[in-house]
Amino acid sequence: MRRSVFLLAAASVIVAPVAGSAQGQRYLNPRDVAEAQRQHAELVQELGGAETGPRATYVEQVGRRVGAFTGIVNPGQALHFTLLNSAVENAMSVPGGYVYVTRQLLTLMDDESQLAFALGHETAHIAANHAELREQYARQTNVYGVLGQIVGAVLGNSGFGGMMSQSAQQASRMRTLSFSRDQEYQADALSMRYITQAGYDPAGGPGILAALTRASSLEARLQGRTNRQTPEWASTHPLSENRTQRAFAEARQTGRLGTGVRNRDLYLNQIEGIFVDDDPAQGIIDGATFTHPDLRIQFRVPPGYLMSNGTYAVTVSGSAGKAIFSGGRFEGPLESYIMRVFQGLTRGQIQLNVPPPQRTMINGMPVAITTARVNTSSGIVDASVVAYQWDPQRMYHFVMLTPGGYGIQPFLPMINSLRRITPTEAAAIRPRIIHVHTVVPGDTIQSLASRMAYRDYQLDRFLSLNGLAPNGVLRPGQKVKLIVYGTRRA
The CATH number for 476's domain is 3.10.350.10
With pLDDT > 70 as the criterion, what percentage of the chain qualifies?
79
Residue 176 has pLDDT above 80, yes or no: no
In a domain, 42, yes or no: yes
Is 455 found in the same domain as 321?
Answer: no
Count of structural domains, the chain: 3
Task: Name the 3-class secondary structure at 173.
Answer: helix
In a domain, 328, yes or no: yes
In a domain, 3, yes or no: no
Closest CA to 86 of 189, 171, 4: 4
Is 298 found in the same domain as 435?
Answer: no
- The predicted-structure confidence for 229-250, as pLDDT tens digits, reads as follows 665 545 445 566 688 999 999 9
Is 369 found in the same domain as 460?
Answer: no
pLDDT tier, 352 (very low <50, low <70, confident <90, very high otherwise): confident
Of these ranges, 165-179, 340-354, 368-382, the one predicted with the greatest mean pLDDT is 368-382
Q: Which of 63-67, 74-78, 98-102, 411-415 has the lowest mean pLDDT?
A: 74-78
DSSP character at residue 128: T
- The predicted-structure confidence for 2-56, as pLDDT tens digits, reads as follows 433 344 333 334 333 332 333 567 788 888 888 889 989 988 988 889 999 999 9
Q: What is the pLDDT of residue 58?
A: 98
The CATH number for 289's domain is 3.40.1000.10
Q: What is the pLDDT of residue 386?
A: 98
In a domain, 1, yes or no: no
Is 479 found in the same domain as 375?
Answer: no
Closest CA to 27 of 78, 68, 66, 92: 78
* pTM of the shown model: 0.84
Q: What is the pLDDT of residue 8?
A: 37
Count CB atoms within 10 A of the CB of residue 449. 22
Q: Which of 125-134, 388-397, 443-452 has the lowest mean pLDDT?
A: 125-134
Closest CA to 299 of 403, 412, 454: 412
Out of 251, 271, 291, pick the residue that ends a domain: 271
In a domain, 258, yes or no: yes
Q: Which of 80-84, 104-108, 285-289 has the lowest mean pLDDT?
A: 285-289
Span 360-383, mean pLDDT? 92
Count CB atoms within 10 A of the CB of residue 184. 23
Is 284 found in the same domain as 171?
Answer: no
Of these ranges, 126-140, 191-205, 233-247, the one predicted with the greatest mean pLDDT is 191-205
Closest CA to 84 of 22, 8, 28: 8
Is 412 found in the same domain as 334?
Answer: yes
Q: What is the pLDDT of residue 14?
A: 39
In a domain, 254, yes or no: yes
Out of 394, 411, 427, pick the residue that ends a domain: 427
Is 400 found in the same domain as 442?
Answer: no
Burial 1-32 (b: 16+ CB within 10 A, else e): bbbbbbbbbbbbbeeeeeeeeebebbbbbeeb
Is 284 found in the same domain as 239?
Answer: no
Is 173 found in the same domain as 89?
Answer: yes
Is 312 found in the same domain as 207?
Answer: no
Is 256 found in the same domain as 326?
Answer: no
Average pLDDT across the chain, whole number? 83
Q: What is the pLDDT of residue 16?
A: 38
In a domain, 490, yes or no: no
Span 339-351, mean pLDDT? 77
Give the domain extent around 460.
430-485
Residue 75 has pLDDT above 70, yes or no: no
Residue 159 has pLDDT above 50, yes or no: no
Q: What is the pLDDT of residue 134?
A: 52
- The predicted-structure confidence for 282-332, as pLDDT tens digits, reads as follows 999 998 999 999 999 999 999 989 998 888 889 999 989 999 999 999 999
In a domain, 2, yes or no: no
Out of 389, 411, 427, pick the residue that ends a domain: 427
- The predicted-structure confidence for 444-489, as pLDDT tens digits, reads as follows 999 999 999 999 999 999 999 999 999 999 999 999 999 999 988 7
Is 134 found in the same domain as 198?
Answer: yes
Is residue 434 within 8 A of residue 107, CB to CB? The reply is: yes
Is residue 420 within 8 A of residue 297, CB to CB? The reply is: yes
Closest CA to 411 of 421, 420, 419, 399: 399
Amino acid identity at 345: L
